[in-house]
Amino acid sequence: HAATDYQAEDATISQGTVATNHLNYTGTGFVDYTNVAGSYVQFTVDAAAAGQAGLQFRYANGSTTDRLMDISVNGTVVASNVSFPATANWDTWVTKTVNASLNAGTNTIRATATTANGGPNLDKLTLGSPSGGGTPGM
């Protein structure tokens, strides 16, 4: 069946705002992380079955600096300082996939900025198949 999208603007946001001041987002907007370490977006997602999933973060980073984030699942960091490299500009969105093990049913997935730059602009999270060799953070 089709992958499920979770819009960042509908998630729990700590130190960030919903914004619409750039092009090409999906849903009704995106999250602009406050430029501070510790800002986060937390999604509540539903997995049909336990096992590895690909957490597909659609983001834009029109700055020239990598925006690193920790990805945690159900309160445990599963990928530290994941790279969200610069994109062409703030209107250009790309997908970063992090593989992680999910429980069947409800899971919480949090993406937390680890540098004073804050996170990238975050459009949505899609649950899909694991990418590549299954290494978390790839």
Contact residue for ligand GCU among 6, 9, 25, 32 (CB under 6 A): 32
Contact residue for ligand GCU among 15, 42, 63, 108 (CB under 6 A): 63
- Alpha-helix residue ranges (DSSP H) falling in 1-138: none
Residue whose C-beta lies closest to ligand GCU: 32
Q: What is the largest CA-CA distance in the chain?
A: 39
- At residue 111's C-alpha, the angle toward residues 24 and 21, to 5°, is 25
Distance from C-alpha of 97 to C-alpha of 41, rounded to nearest angstrom:
16
Query: With respect to ligand GCU, which residue has the nearer C-beta, 107 or 121?
Result: 121
Query: With respect to ligand GCU, which residue has the nearer C-beta, 37 or 138?
Result: 37
Tokens of 13: 């946001």
- Torsion on CA atoms 42, 34, 58, 11, rounded to nearest 10: 30
Binders of ligand GCU among 89-128, rule CB under 6 A? 90, 118, 121
Strands 30-33 and 121-128: antiparallel
Query: With respect to ligand GCU, which residue has the nearer C-beta, 32 or 79?
Result: 32
Query: With respect to ligand GCU, which residue has the nearer C-beta, 29 or 54?
Result: 29
Looking at the DSSP assignment, which residues form a beta bridge with residue 19?
30
35 binds ligand GCU (CB under 6 A): yes
Amino acid at position 53, single letter: A
**Least Å from the CB of residue 81 to ligand GCU:** 17
Query: With respect to ligand GCU, which residue has the nearer C-beta, 7 or 107?
Result: 7
Binding site for ligand GCU (CB under 6 A): 19, 21-22, 32, 35, 63, 90, 118, 121
